[in-house]
């Protein structure tokens, strides 16, 4: 897309501008996540979920029709602005599953999110610029030829449309409402002071004072910043030329790597994560995953020195392991956040989480793309030359996240 918009003049500049397109969605989401969380607590999880999926249908399709750089940024921004999906879905999973199966429920949420981050770029890699990849099937003068990124966007929008229709028909509501008369008859001695306390306990301010909640959100945000920067950097690094420290992969090659990663992620999170969480708890799983991620990321610049089949096998294994570790951390922090509040507060609590996380995720792609561009321009530096610098910086963020999982910062009843 950047090439078509004539913004970037060099290979290094592509990383810089692509980062801002990735950040626009998170900026929009950061502005409205608390609002959608409050709406979900007041009117139910289902309406917010349906509105969020509908926004994907509309604005993702518009993104595919982008004719310039600013249209791409604006459509991504409004997609995030109207999509308060993830927070209510986390609350929904906690309410849908019993206490003994909540690890599986929240693991399914984080796995779906992680696979989306993988399948999306993979789908884009296979279907973007179809007139160039399939000249016998797609004419340069056709709709998909004139809008080279419309096809993958349209596929996602059609899928989201079916999900919207199915959700509107079959998705049950987990937040149950009671008539005022039923509530009064269930209470033998109405106490105005208790009602006032309950109202105050549900306020945003009370959530901000809830340190078990806020500490888990901060840990979640640090790791989310790392994951979003890594996701942006990985794809850009893989398609970068060898002389800049990249892999010189085509978009199809990147799509294949991400597809294989998605399968590995699905198998681990649905089978092994609930078992690991049951034995050592979500905090220890997150801590171990963070520690293992550091040497793994440090090996990436050396993976770029390989070639052929060995490169593909090594990269696939490293990518699977990295994403499994990242999603294990995310799932653990999901559990801590939702157990730190009561049901009536979960929508708002997850809204706060999504707001802070979206700010970090908005920073992630923009900074990740800019730092990758900068690191690739210092190939002959004496200290951490080329891409060694960008993976070192990712490890610094990962290390901070691991440190924050210890007391006295992270407070939880899971210790």
Using a 10 angstrom Cβ sphere, with 0-12 exposed, 13-18 middle and 19 or more buried, the burial of residue 205 is exposed
Per-residue pLDDT at 9 exceeds 50: no
Residues in the chain: 415
Q: Quick one: pLDDT at residue 20?
A: 75
Asked if 331 and 269 touch (Cβ cutoff 8 Å), the reply is: yes
For 173-183, how does the pLDDT look when each residue is reduced to its tens digit (9 = 90+)?
887 654 444 43
Let me know: does 371 contact 391? Beta carbons within 8 Å. no
Res 19: pLDDT: 64
Contact between 103 and 277 (Cβ < 8 Å):
yes
- Report pLDDT for 398: 94
Cα gap 357→376, rounded to integer Å: 28
The answer on pLDDT for 1 being more than 60 is: no
pLDDT tens digits along 56-101: 999 999 998 988 888 989 999 999 899 888 878 888 877 777 766 7
CATH of span 11-169+210-403:
1.20.1250.20
Nearest to 56 by CA among 195, 192, 196, 153: 153
Tens digits of per-residue pLDDT, 271-298? 777 788 888 888 899 999 999 999 999 9
328 vs 20, more confident: 328
- Give the per-residue pLDDT at 414: 59
Predicted confidence at residue 238, as pLDDT, reads 86
Answer yes or no: is pLDDT of 263 > 80. no
Q: Is 301 helix (H, G, I), strand (E, B) or coil?
A: helix
**Confidence class for position 18, pLDDT limits 50, 70, 90:** low
Q: Using one digit for the tens of pLDDT, what is the confidence trace for 324-359?
A: 888 888 888 888 888 888 877 888 888 888 888 878
Measured from the Cβ of residue 122, the count of other Cβ atoms closer than 10 Å reads 24
CB–CB of 49/89 below 8 Å?
yes
Provide the pLDDT for residue 182. 42
Name which of 280, 259, 376 is nearest 323 in CA terms.
259
Residue with tokens 């994951």: 227
N-term to C-term CA, the chain:
47
- The angle subtended at Cα 408 by Cα 405 and Cα 411, nearest 5°, is 65
11-20, 297-306, 333-342, 371-380: lowest mean pLDDT where? 11-20
Instruction: Read off the pLDDT band of 393 (50, 70, 90).
Output: very high
Over the chain, what is the mean pLDDT?
80
Q: What is the CA radius of gyration of the chain?
A: 22
- For position 250, what pLDDT does the model report? 77
Other Cβ atoms within 10 Å of 300 Cβ, number: 23
Nearest to 234 by CA among 70, 22, 7: 22
Residue 366 to residues 138, 194, 281, 370, Cα–Cα distance (Å):
33, 47, 34, 6
> Are the C-beta atoms of residues 331 and 195 closer than 8 Å to each other?
no
The region of weakest confidence among 222-231, 301-310, 340-349 is: 340-349
Query: Tens of pLDDT along 183-224?
Result: 344 344 344 434 434 444 447 788 888 888 899 999 999 998
* Higher per-residue pLDDT: 290 or 380: 290
Q: Within its chain, how far is the Cα of 267 from the centroid?
A: 19
For residue 408, the model assigns a pLDDT of: 86
Q: Kindly state the tokens that stand for 232.
A: 């942006």
Q: What is the pLDDT of residues 28-66, one digit of tens each?
A: 888 888 899 888 888 888 999 999 999 999 999 999 898
pTM above 0.75, yes or no: no
């Amino acid at each position: 897309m950047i090439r078509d918009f004539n913004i970037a003049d060099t290979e290094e500049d592509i990383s810089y501008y692509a980062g801002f397109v990735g950040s626009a969605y998170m900026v929009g989401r950061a502005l409205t996540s608390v609002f959608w969380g409050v709406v979900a607590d007041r009117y139910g999880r289902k309406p917010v979920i349906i509105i969020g999926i509908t926004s994907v249908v509309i604005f993702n399709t518009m993104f595919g029709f982008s004719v310039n750089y600013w249209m791409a940024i604006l459509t991504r921004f409004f997609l995030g602005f109207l999509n308060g999906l993830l927070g209510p879905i986390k609350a929904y999973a906690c309410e849908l599953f019993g206490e003994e199966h909540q690890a599986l429920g929240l693991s399914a949420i984080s796995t779906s999110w992680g696979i989306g981050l993988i399948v999306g770029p993979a789908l884009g890699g296979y279907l973007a610029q179809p007139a160039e990849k399939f000249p016998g099937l797609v004419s340069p003068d056709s709709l998909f030829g004139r809008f080279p990124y419309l096809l993958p966007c349209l596929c996602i929008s059609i899928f989201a449309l079916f999900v919207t229709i199915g959700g509107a028909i079959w998705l049950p509501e987990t937040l149950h409402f009671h008539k005022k008369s039923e509530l009064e008859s269930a209470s033998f001695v109405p106490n105005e002071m208790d009602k006032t306390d309950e109202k105050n306990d549900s306020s945003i301010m009370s959530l901000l004072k809830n340190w078990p909640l806020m500490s888990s959100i901060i840990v979640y945000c640090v790791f989310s910043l790392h994951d979003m920067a890594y996701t942006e950097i990985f794809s850009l690094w893989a398609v970068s030329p060898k002389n800049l420290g990249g892999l010189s992969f085509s978009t199809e090659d990147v799509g294949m790597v991400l597809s294989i990663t998605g399968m590995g992620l699905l198998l681990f999170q649905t089978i092994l994560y609930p078992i690991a969480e049951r034995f050592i708890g979500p905090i220890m799983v997150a801590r171990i995953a963070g520690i293992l991620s550091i040497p793994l990321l440090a090996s990436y610049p050396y993976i770029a020195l390989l070639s052929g089949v060995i490169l593909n096998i090594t990269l696939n294994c490293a990518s699977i392991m990295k994403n499994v570790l990242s999603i294990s951390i995310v799932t653990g922090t999901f559990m801590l956040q939702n157990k730190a509040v009561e049901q009536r507060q979960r929508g708002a609590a997850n809204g706060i989480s999504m707001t802070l996380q979206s700010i970090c995720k908005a920073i992630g792609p923009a900074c990740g793309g800019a730092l990758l561009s900068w690191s690739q321009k210092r190939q002959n530096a004496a200290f951490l030359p080329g891409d060694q610098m960008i993976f070192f910086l990712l490890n610094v963020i990962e290390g901070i996240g691991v440190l924050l999982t210890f007391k006295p910062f992270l407070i939880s009843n899971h210790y």
